Amino acid sequence: EPEVTQTPSHQVTQMGQEVILRCVPISNHLYFYWYRQILGQKVEFLVSFYNNEISEKSEIFDDQFSVERPDGSNFTLKIRSTKLEDSAMYFCASSMVRGRLNTEAFFGQGTRLTVV
Amino acid sequence: DAKTTQPPSMDCAEGRAANLPCNHSTISGNEYVYWYRQIHSQGPQYIIHGLKNNETNEMASLIITEDRKSSTLILPHATLRDTAVYYCIVRVGTSGTYKYIFGTGTRLKVLA
């Protein structure tokens, strides 16, 4: 079964450093998402991406965050200058359109980001 | 903010049906109800979704009330591996701007 793949599974970075989290969505999907989950808290929407541009973003997704689909297969989330409070699990998801319907989103297994 | 409310926790005996309720009284006519679950800190796993008709797949059944203000996810024969947090989600937005807003979910514990 096709799946969303995220790398790395765990990343440790120093505060103030830039990190790039990588995702390979399911190949025929057109909608892409990033979510995060701080330990013990709920899954929070960060951003959605469609047709090569951001379609929606939350208030969490400030100027420190950016997303890119550099080569038609990868979907990346960049955090420019990490803060301690950026420590969380980051989930990538993708979905497709079938006819006029947008199907369910499939989530990757996440990248655990630890900022020290 | 999430458009759904769920009980924070439930227990279910192994082999019995688990019925997980969800209220979504402010749902709009074209918004779908989705159910996902999360086992430990793994990525949310899709279970089922529906608009107004009841739905069934190999994992579960989804019963949506006629007024669409609530729904119930049914796991017909719960196993220990079904222990997880179950999220009822109303997908908001329009084509090109969809998003899934997670609430706090129901922590289901299946007991041996």
What's chain A's average pLDDT? 92
Mutate: best of B41, B59, B62, B87, partner A, most A CBs <10 A: B41
What average pLDDT does range B5-27 have in this prediction?
96
Task: Express each pLDDT in B40-80 by its tens digit.
Answer: 889 999 999 999 989 999 999 999 999 999 999 999 999 99
Tokens of B82: 């079904």
Residue B63, C-beta contacts closer than 8 angstroms, at least 6 positions apart: B54, B71, B72, B74
Residue that has been written with the tokens 């299946």 in this structure: B110
Q: What is the signed CA dihedral for B69, A56, A105, B22, rounded to 10 degrees?
A: -20
pLDDT higher than 80, residue A98: no
Mutate: best of A21, A50, A104, partner B, most B CBs <10 A: A104
Q: What is the pLDDT of residue B24?
A: 94
Q: Give the closest-approach CA distance of A88 to chain B in angstroms.
A: 11
Q: What is the pLDDT of residue A101?
A: 67
Q: Give the closest-approach CA distance of B18 to chain A in angstroms.
A: 22
From A75, A80, A2, select the one nearest A32 (Cα to Cα): A75
What's the rounded Cα separation, in Å, for the pair A36 and A43?
A: 6
On whether the CB atoms of residues B112 and B80 are closer than 8 A, the answer is yes
For B95, which residue in chain A has the nearest alpha carbon? A102
> Which segment of A13-22, A23-32, A77-86 scores lowest on mean pLDDT?
A23-32
Contacts of A107 in chain B (CB under 8 A): 36, 43-46
pLDDT higher than 60, residue B110: yes
Q: Give the closest-approach CA distance of A42 to chain B in angstroms.
A: 6
Which is higher by pLDDT, A19 or A103?
Answer: A19
What's chain B's average pLDDT? 93
pLDDT higher than 80, residue A100: no
Task: Express each pLDDT in B98-107 by its tens digit.
Answer: 888 898 899 9
In which element (H, E) is residue B12 found? Answer: strand B9-13
Contacts of B87 in chain A (CB under 8 A): 43
Pairing verdict, β A44-50 and A53-57: antiparallel
